[in-house]
Each structure stands twice: as structure tokens, then as C-alpha cells.
Chain A
């Protein structure tokens, strides 16, 4: 009787100690795992601030963001018009131009072709007045949508925000 209850207590104690110890080992592994995540200096590069106040209509600039190129195009009324008109057409990757821009005058797209990752050529290239990828001939329009060629998807729109009239912030700030 006495011995049995003693055994029972020991079992519980041993199990509990084992569980607490195992939790500790898992906890101790965390700093090692976490040390692979982007460090503070890398995270501070998570956003890119661009002064767009001096970008003339019809012109574009390429800015680096998180090590990747981003096209910022100051669209002319004609380019906006062309993009809006194509909304009704049958598109490979349907999307409304209005959903792809925050302000109609500015198109902000990640300049990596969704096909295989090449950088498309600047505005005014290809069959749709937008961007032509030189690698495998994907044609994008003035909204960065795929119109012709092997790419299955539109050019990606990164997270961005207009901080004020002339400052554009690409990316989301992380801790």
C-alpha cells in the first residue's frame, strides 16, 4: 500500500520533471532557430522611401527595395486611359486597373517578370505600350498586367503607401 502510492508519486514526479525539462530544451532551441531570421540591420532595409515629387509625367524610375527592383511610373492621362479601357477585355489574369494603383497617376510594380524573374524593359516597350520582358517575350500593359506571352500572372504590386504628397514608402515597416 505504502510502497504503491510511493511508486505512483515517483512516476508522476518523474513524468512532470521530464515534461518540464523537455519544454526547456525546446525553449533553449528557440534563440538558435530565431538567429536565422533577418537581423535588425536587414529589417531596417524593409522599406524604401522615394521622393516622387520631381518625377515628370510619362517618366519612370527604378528603385531598389529589399534587394529587388521596383518600377515607379508617373502615368500620362493617355496611359491611364489605355489601362482603364482594357479592364473590360478578356485578360489572362483578370484585374481592374483601379485595384492595382492607389493613385491613378502612379503605377508601382515589382519589376520582376512573374514568369522566370527577369527584369522587364522600361515603359513604352512591347505590344501594349507597357513593359516587355526580354527573356521570353511577355508583354505587359500600362497597368503591368500580362497581355501576351508565357507569363501566367500580372506584375506584382508591392505594399506601398503615400506618406505625403511627394513621398512614397514601399514595403511595410517591421518592428
Chain B
């Protein structure tokens, strides 16, 4: 065995790579459980690729067949129901894990120097995930698939001059139809593999600068770090166990919890369901899109820009935060802003879930007003974070010298 490894190592230094990047890779010893969500995201990605690959072996992308074929998978294929429920629920859990992962990075300042490129790869991954999830949702060709595809692709028509032609080009026809379904299937198959590639870049960028930690200071001496194996391998595995229990509880006992009943109705281009909603993980962004309705003929374009901006602004977050301290644990004002931001995302999600013309308190408070306020709050997080750090308004509490 060792002879074989020697032979291989002389040609490709596998042992050395494993040693330096996995088993003996130095990791801060004070990482808390919020740091589990990175490896957890990779785990969910693998579940998604595996279940997706096997679903693709039974699926047919065809406007006349796709709905029936999904039911064929659910009813006839051995364990087809399990593959499909794993994949459908896996999408929701993927976003949950990634959202926590992103918020962890925001709270502990993991985007700060020297981790900007690491952070950017993360945002690119998030964006590609959204595209993949959107196209995957179209494949069962139910009512929500169809109308979700119609509404989201129609957003492109907001682009001046070329918008209308662009939408027809994306559709491959004059409405969402068979050509759209086929190209979405091809891309839905391809993108996860690209995501996997970017995950490797994300990990490369991580290992180049090493993990941040809850205290947010650089590691000074040897005793602050421990080898990744066995400490974090076992901690990550334990986290995966807890994750799988929750995940399987949904897959086996509430598999339709995250799915809309309307998507069990075959796509009908002649009739829109009375209340269409995107998947929950798009709801905050959907609410931001809808909240820009006061600019007349510019509203549509402005809504799209606001929605895109809500993600794009994450790119410049490393340069907006000027605090001398990374971790929000020692930054009382930033911390309050952060929790406001989290609560704001929940409220945005709730606004996005409800019909655009809904209101609360007996109609006294239209949701659109709440939506606009929350959209403003969403962007003000980034602005205020810059203000309190760039102008030294925030006084941080003492930061420990070592972990």
C-alpha cells in the first residue's frame, strides 16, 4: 500500500496535498457551529447533483410529456418518489444552509481583507444557485413552473431597446414553451457542474488566506490553531447528521411543505393561477422587485435594477465596512444593524409571499408600503454600515489579543 502511494506521490503529490490542505490544514480552534454551514453546503450540493443525475435518467424535457414523466417518476420508477422529493426539498435546504452561511460571513466580517476574493466567489456561487434553482423549478411543467418562468423571463423585457427581442430569444418562441423547457433542462444540468468548479475556486481562495474565526483576529501562534482532521472532520460530520435528520423529516413526512399545490396542475398557457408566488428563497428579492412601483414607466426597469442591486451590493460590502475590527461581536452598532437586516429580510419575504395588493390592519396599511420601507432598510444596512465605520461613529469594545 505504502509502495503504491510512494509511486503515485513521486508523480502526483497526493499525500502532500491531503496533508497540507485537509488532515493537517491549520484551522482556528475557536470556530463555532455557524462554521459548519460551509461544508454542509457542499454536502447538499453533492446530494443535489446525485439525485439530479438519477432523475435526469428518467426525465424527458418536452412540453407534452414532462408533467406526466414527473408523475411516472413518482409512481413507477423504483424509489423515484424518494429521488424527486430529495431533489425538490434539497433545493430549499440548500438555500437555507447557504443563507446561514452568508449571514455568518456578514456577522463575523469574513468578507474583510484579505478575504475579498473568497467572498466574491461566494456571491457568484449564490447567483448561479439562484439561476439553477429557477430553471429547475420549470422542469416539472406545472402551473407554477410555467408562470414562474413566464414572469421571471419577462423581467428581461424591462431592459431598454433590446428587452423585447431578448425575451423572445430566451423563449425560442413567442411565449414560454417547448424550446424554453429544453434549453432550461440543458442549462439546469450544466450549471451545477459549473457551480462545483467555482466551489473548488472558493475553497482555493479560502485555503490561501485560511478561515476567519468568531473573534475575527488573525491567528498569532501555533496554539491558536488545530489540524482540520480529526477535529473539524468529526464536527462537520456531526453537523451533517443533525442536518440529515431535519432534511429527512421533511422528505419522508412533509415532502410537499415547500411545494405549491398549483404545481400539481399541468401547465396551462391559457390560464394564470389566481395567486402566483415564487419559491420561498426568492421571496425577499421578489418583494424588492415589486416594491418599486412609484416611478411610472420606469418602475419595471427600476424594480429589476433594485432586485439585481440587492445581490450586486454584496460585492462592494468589503469596501463599505471600514471598521478596524472584523467581528461584529465587538461592534455594538454594527450588530444592531445586522439583526435589523436579518429581520428585514424576513419581513420582505413575508411581503413577497402575499398578494401585491394585500393590506393589514383592516386595509389601513397596504403591504406595498411595508415592502417599500423594507427595501429602503435593506439598502440602508450597507449605507449605514459604511457611515458608522467610515466616520468612526462606532466605538468597538475591547478585542482579545488572542483566541
Contacts and interface: CB of A to CB of B under 8 A. Distances in A.
Nearest to B230: A14
A41 B82 CA distance: 17
Contacts of A26: none
B69 to A, nearest CB: 11
A39 B54 contact: no
A43 to B, nearest CB: 9
Nearest to B237: A21
Nearest to A39: B76
Given A32-B50, A35-B57, A35-B58, A40 B79 contact: no
A5 interface: no
B72 A35 contact: no
A105 to B, nearest CB: 38
Nearest to A34: B78
Interface in B40-78: 50, 54, 57-58, 72, 75-78
B142 interface: no
Interface string B294-307: 00000000000000
A14 to B, nearest CB: 9
Contacts of B78: 31, 34-37, 39
A41 B72 CA distance: 8
Contacts of A21: 237
Contacts of B75: 40
Contacts of A35: 54, 57-58, 77-80, 83
How many of chain A's residues touch chain B, expressed as a range?
A: 10 to 19
Which of A32, A35, A39, A42 has the largest count of B CB atoms less than 10 A from its CB?
A35
Nearest to B86: A31
A110 B96 CA distance: 56
A35 to B, nearest CB: 5
Interface residues of B, number: 14
Interface in A16-47: 21, 31-32, 34-37, 39-42
Instruction: Determine chain B's interface SS by DSSP, over half rule.
Output: helix
Contacts of B72: 39, 41
A34 B82 CA distance: 11
Nearest to A21: B237
Contacts of A32: 50, 54, 79, 83
B22 to A, nearest CB: 17
A41 B58 CA distance: 13
Contacts of A39: 58, 72, 76-78, 80
Contacts of B50: 32
Nearest to A38: B78
A32 B54 CA distance: 7
A32 B77 CA distance: 11
Interface string B12-54: 0000000000000000000000000000000000000010001
A37 B75 CA distance: 14
A37 B50 CA distance: 17
Contacts of B237: 21
B83 A31 contact: yes
A35 B59 CA distance: 12
Given A35-B57, A35-B58, A40 B76 contact: yes
Interface in B269-327: none
Interface in B212-241: 237
A21 B244 CA distance: 13
Contacts of B76: 39-42
Interface string B68-107: 0000100111111011000000000000000000000000
A34 to B, nearest CB: 4
Contacts of B58: 35, 39
Interface in A40-99: 40-42
A175 to B, nearest CB: 11
11 contacts: A31-B78, A32-B50, A32-B83, A35-B54, A35-B77, A35-B80, A35-B83, A36-B57, A39-B58, A40-B76, A41-B76
Interface of B: 50, 54, 57-58, 72, 75-80, 82-83, 237
Given A31-B83, A39-B58, A39-B78, 17 more contacts: A21-B237, A31-B78, A31-B82, A32-B54, A34-B78, A35-B54, A35-B57, A35-B58, A35-B77, A35-B79, A36-B78, A39-B72, A40-B75, A40-B77, A41-B72, A41-B76, A42-B76
Q: Which 4 pairs show the lowest CB-CB distances between chains A and B?
A: A31-B79, A39-B76, A40-B76, A41-B76
